[in-house]
Amino acid sequence: MLSETLQQKFETLKALFAEMDRALIAYSGGIDSTLVAKVASDALGDRALAVTAVSPSLLPEDLEDACTQAAEIGIRHELVETHEMENPNYAANPTNRCYFCKSELHDTLKPMAIAQGYPYVVDGVNADDLQDYRPGIQAAKERGARSPLAEVGITKLEVRELAKHLGLPCWDKPAQPCLSSRFPYGEEITIAKLQRVGRAEVYLRRLGLKTLRVRSESDTARIELPADQLKEFVLTANLPALVEAFKSFGFVYVTLDLEGFQSGKLNQVLELSTRQ
């Protein structure tokens, strides 16, 4: 059962979509955009369209999940290719890389929405995202996109509560940002590097691990797992087989981050530079 406060936010969210009449959802398949797609579909029916951007920074397995979830929701779903990798400003991986990614995304979605008669493009940005370093949010706003979850003040935790309340199987799905977020700022991003990171993370997922990152620094893979899982992982995983697999993906060195998993960890360098 939802709290009174969250129930009020939920009702406001549904009313917001009803007022839109037609909406195109930037749908990645993550929990945030899946909740938005579900609420939009319930409110608008076939006047809601979910669109997933396909590029090398999206794992094929995550694309498959997005398609499966869209079918379960019952929302109309289309795929569109984006070409952020062709932008040298993106590939150079500056601290505002996400700005160029979201610029490409919304420069693709906005004309699509106009051509198909959708007055609104909406995304899955939530209220907590506004407190983090997210240069992509600026790019989306500049292109007129709306963020219903943030507008209503729905936090990440409340997203999960609502998703569970609505029976979405992805309600406890770990956050899965694009693969480009695995590289330290300033290191060039290539399709080959994205693919090796993707294969490494899929390998770990198939071992039964859920919350994880494989950070890529030059030829080194740094595995991040929740701190309370590190000991068990070291004791039970077939480490020689894992190292061999990672080397076959293209890494030379394989390490384990003893601090444990932390979302957005590579942004720590920004905090340090600010203090200095």
In the structure encoding, which two tokens stand for residue 183, read together? 């590289």
Where does a domain end: 172, 194, 212? 172
Could you identify the residue written with the tokens 């289309």? 78
Query: Is the same domain home to 18 and 142?
Result: yes
What pLDDT is attached to residue 274?
A: 46
Please give the mean pLDDT across all residues of the chain. 94
Mean pLDDT on 143-172: 96
Could you identify the residue written with the tokens 């406890």? 172
Query: Is the same domain home to 146 and 199?
Result: no
- Count of structural domains, the chain: 2
Closest CA to 98 of 144, 135, 145, 146: 135
98, 101, 170, 178: the active-site residue = 178
Mean pLDDT on 268-272: 59
Cα 247 to Cα 227: distance, rounded to the nearest angstrom: 24
Least confident of 29-38, 129-138, 144-153, 242-251: 129-138
Cα 222 to Cα 201: distance, rounded to the nearest angstrom: 11
C-alpha dihedral over 105, 107, 113, 115, to 10 degrees? -140
Where does a domain end: 172, 205, 240? 172
Domain that holds residue 67: 4-172
CATH of the domain at 119: 3.40.50.620
Residue 194, pLDDT above cutoff 50: yes
Query: Is the same domain home to 154 and 225?
Result: no
Mean pLDDT on 72-87: 97
Beta-sheet pairing, 76-81 with 213-217: unpaired
Q: Is 178 a catalytic residue?
A: yes
In the structure encoding, which two tokens stand for residue 237, read together? 């995983």
| Residue predicted with more confidence, 276 or 235 | 235
What pLDDT is attached to residue 45?
A: 97
CATH of the domain at 267: 3.30.300
Query: Is the same domain home to 94 and 211?
Result: no
In the structure encoding, which two tokens stand for residue 158, read together? 């409340």
Query: Is the same domain home to 11 and 118?
Result: yes
> pLDDT, tens digit, for every residue of 20-36?
999 999 999 999 999 99
Query: Is the same domain home to 207 and 250?
Result: yes
Buried b (16+ CB within 10 A) or exposed e, 6-33: beebbeebbebbeebebbbbbbbbbbbb
Query: Is the same domain home to 134 and 221?
Result: no
Where does a domain end: 156, 172, 188? 172
In the structure encoding, which two tokens stand for residue 130, read together? 């506004």
Mean pLDDT on 158-185: 93
When pLDDT is cut at 50, 70 and 90, the band that residue 1 belongs to is confident
> pLDDT, tens digit, for every residue of 83-94?
999 999 999 999
What pLDDT is attached to residue 263?
A: 78
What pLDDT is attached to residue 270?
A: 60
Q: What is the pTM of this model?
A: 0.92
